[in-house]
């Protein structure tokens, strides 16, 4: 490898949503920027996660809603057109080609280096292209790691040999397996169970814990489980997988549970967590541990290394695309401010725009199951563990006029978690059809620390599902 380096103001390692947003912000600040990507520009979200999964889910959710609307239900009684759904998914995944994203990079003036990138000492990144070419990129001001995460496949006997699906295969498969086994209770498990059950698979979900969506209020997982069960899926909780066996290269897969019970499927999806893609990016050259999450401060800078930043999943603050993009905006602003001479001002709290808080105080998440589950901030249990004096206020979403008009038999639930000392919201959860669209109002209330007394004057339109806000406040006041 040659030591002759191409110099930039900023070098970004990883071209997913977080990496793209860093490049956008640093280029907007007039800083020369190089982006290194080993796969497709746009990353996991664009091709194997958020975008293709929602393209698969939208027809399923629309059909489910239509079946609950008088005068329309009889028109949507048949199965989904799977080929049309897959074509829709392929379109939104750009047929797994990244010309559009590359064109966007060109339009902002960032340089793309394709290949495997590794930190190469202080402010340097070495890149090996697929053709074997070697480049050294030197950063005048900052290197940003945005390499994301990969799916974890548990170390269970026979699992690796069985070639299970991960989220990548689950969002890109071109045929519905007749029988799909899913291990895990996460968002991926719940969403893919919803999608593939609707596409014709017989789905069985195996959850080690007590239920689906364990990071949300318990009622969210309960309502999603109830709907999946009614749709024909089987949800098993409190089960442990002891081994996995695949019959030949393409035959059925058998999952052996603790106690000896054997379940058979045509495909097996493992959705049990994520791990950082840091095992071979040169962290050891800067004193960090390969294969580990990268610690950062609230400007997403690595403590003790004034030129190194980490944004998105890789820093483990919040494994969500929108939060990674948010962190990238924060880090981009911090880098630009430091280059412009702001020094460390943002680290003292005087530069609020350069300090990430949403991923610790107002984390948002939407799960596109039927029903949808959406949450922001703290759950009741989290608020109590944090020492807040709180009250949970619940309301049956089905009793809101707008929900009843939205669909017959509308089922859902809303909860706000109120800080009784300050009378502001610390958290909110909504479960029901279309519930994800309620989330941003709650996010604004939490981030803005809007007093309950002021929320009374935010009048929801009638008849909308948002009228639940009025009912929640009425319930709080008693």
Provide the residue ranges of all domains of the chain, joining segments of one domain with +. 5-42+98-150+276-359, 160-272, 371-477
Residue 25's closest CA among 298, 355, 335, 324?
A: 335
Report helix, strand or coil for 440.
helix
User: Rg of the chain over CA atoms, in angstroms?
Assistant: 24
Neighbours of 147 (CB within 10 A): 27
Sheet holding 267-270, edge to edge: 234-237, 202-207, 179-183, 267-270
Residue 234's closest CA among 202, 196, 281?
A: 202
For β-strands 149-151 and 274-276, DSSP reports them as antiparallel
Q: What is the pLDDT of residue 334?
A: 93
pTM score:
0.93
Q: What is the pLDDT of residue 350?
A: 38
Assess whether the region 5-42+98-150+276-359 and the region 160-272 belong to the same CATH fold. yes
Give 5-42+98-150+276-359's CATH code, choosing from 3.20.20.80, 3.50.50.60, 3.30.710.10, 1.20.1050.140.
Answer: 3.50.50.60
Query: Is the domain defined by 160-272 classed in CATH 3.50.50.60?
Result: yes
Determine contact, residues 135/129, Cβ cutoff 8 Å. Answer: yes
Q: For the stretch 326-357, what's the b/e string if a residue is b when 16 or more beta carbons lie within 10 angstroms of its beta carbon?
A: bbbbbbbbbbbbbbeeeeeebbeeebeebbbe
Neighbours of 240 (CB within 10 A): 10
Distance CA 426, CA 376 (A): 8
The structure tokens listed for 354 are 């350069």
Q: What is the pLDDT of residue 103?
A: 97
Neighbours of 285 (CB within 10 A): 15
The structure tokens listed for 333 are 């602003």
User: What residue ranges in 286-338 does DSSP mark as E strands?
Assistant: 308-310
Q: What is the pLDDT of residue 323?
A: 93
- C-alpha torsion 401→406→409→413, nearest 10: -70
The structure tokens listed for 223 are 């309502």
Just give the CATH number of 371-477: 3.30.390.30
3-state helix, strand, coil in the chain (%, to 5): 40, 25, 35
Sequence-distant (≥ 6) Cβ neighbours of residue 62 within 8 angstroms: none
Distance CA 471, CA 413 (A): 12
Distance CA 185, CA 270 (A): 10
* Residuewise pLDDT in 10s, the chain (478 residues): 455 789 999 999 999 999 999 999 999 999 999 999 999 999 999 999 999 999 999 999 999 999 999 999 888 888 999 999 999 999 999 999 999 999 999 999 999 999 999 999 999 999 999 999 999 999 999 999 999 999 999 999 999 999 999 999 999 999 999 999 999 999 999 999 999 999 999 999 999 999 999 999 999 999 999 999 999 999 999 999 999 999 887 899 999 999 999 999 999 999 999 999 999 999 999 999 999 999 999 999 999 999 999 999 999 999 999 999 999 999 999 999 999 885 444 443 433 457 788 777 899 999 999 999 999 999 999 999 999 999 999 999 999 999 999 999 999 999 999 999 999 999 999 999 999 999 999 999 999 999 999 999 999 999 999 999 999 999 999 8
Phi-psi region of 175 (alpha: psi -120 to 50; beta: other; left: phi over 0): beta
């Amino acid at each position: 490898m040659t030591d002759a380096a191409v110099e930039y103001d900023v070098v970004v390692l990883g071209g997913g949503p977080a990496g793209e947003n860093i490049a956008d912000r640093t280029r907007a600040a007039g800083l020369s920027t190089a982006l290194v990507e080993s796969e497709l520009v746009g990353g996991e979200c664009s091709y194997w996660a958020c975008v293709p999964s929602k393209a698969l889910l939208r027809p399923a959710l629309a059909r489910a809603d239509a079946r609950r609307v008088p005068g329309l239900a009889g028109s949507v009684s048949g199965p989904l057109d799977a080929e049309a759904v897959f074509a829709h998914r392929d379109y939104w995944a750009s047929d797994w080609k990244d010309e559009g994203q590359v064109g966007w990079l060109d339009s902002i003036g960032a340089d793309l280096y394709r290949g495997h990138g590794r930190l190469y000492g202080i402010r340097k990144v070495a890149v090996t292209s697929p053709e074997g070419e070697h480049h050294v990129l030197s950063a005048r001001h900052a290197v940003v790691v945005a390499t994301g995460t990969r799916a974890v496949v548990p170390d269970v006997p026979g699992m690796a040999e069985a070639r299970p699906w991960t989220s990548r295969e689950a969002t890109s498969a071109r045929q519905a397996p007749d029988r799909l086994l899913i291990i895990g209770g996460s968002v991926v498990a719940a969403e893919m169970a919803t999608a593939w059950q609707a596409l014709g698979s017989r789905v069985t979900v195996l959850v080690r814990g007590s239920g689906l969506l364990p990071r949300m209020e318990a009622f969210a997982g309960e309502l999603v489980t109830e709907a999946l069960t009614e749709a024909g899926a089987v949800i098993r909780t409190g089960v442990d997988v002891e081994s996995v066996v695949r019959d030949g290269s393409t035959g059925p897969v058998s999952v052996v549970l603790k106690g000896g019970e054997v379940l058979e499927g045509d495909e097996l999806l493992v959705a049990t967590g994520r791990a950082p893609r840091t095992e071979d990016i040169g962290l050891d050259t800067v004193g960090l541990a390969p294969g580990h999450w990268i610690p950062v401060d609230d400007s997403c800078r690595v403590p003790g290394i004034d030129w190194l930043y980490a944004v998105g999943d890789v820093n483990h603050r919040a494994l969500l695309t929108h939060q990674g993009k948010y962190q990238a905006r924060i880090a981009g602003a911090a880098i630009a401010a430091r280059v412009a001479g702001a020094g460390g001002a943002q680290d003292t709290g005087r530069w609020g725009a350069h300090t990430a808080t949403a991923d610790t105080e107002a984390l948002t998440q939407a799960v596109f199951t039927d029903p949808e589950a959406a949450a922001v901030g703290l759950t009741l249990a989290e608020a109590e563990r944090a020492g807040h004096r709180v009250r949970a206020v619940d309301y049956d979403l089905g009793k809101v006029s707008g929900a009843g008009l939205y669909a017959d038999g509308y089922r859902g639930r809303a909860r706000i978690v109120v800080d009784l000392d300050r009378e502001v919201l610390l958290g909110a959860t909504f479960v029901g059809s279309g519930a994800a669209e309620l989330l941003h109002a709650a996010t604004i209330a939490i981030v803005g620390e809007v007093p309950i007394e002021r929320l009374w004057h935010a009048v929801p339109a009638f008849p909308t599902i948002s009228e639940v806000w009025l009912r929640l406040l009425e319930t709080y006041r008693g």
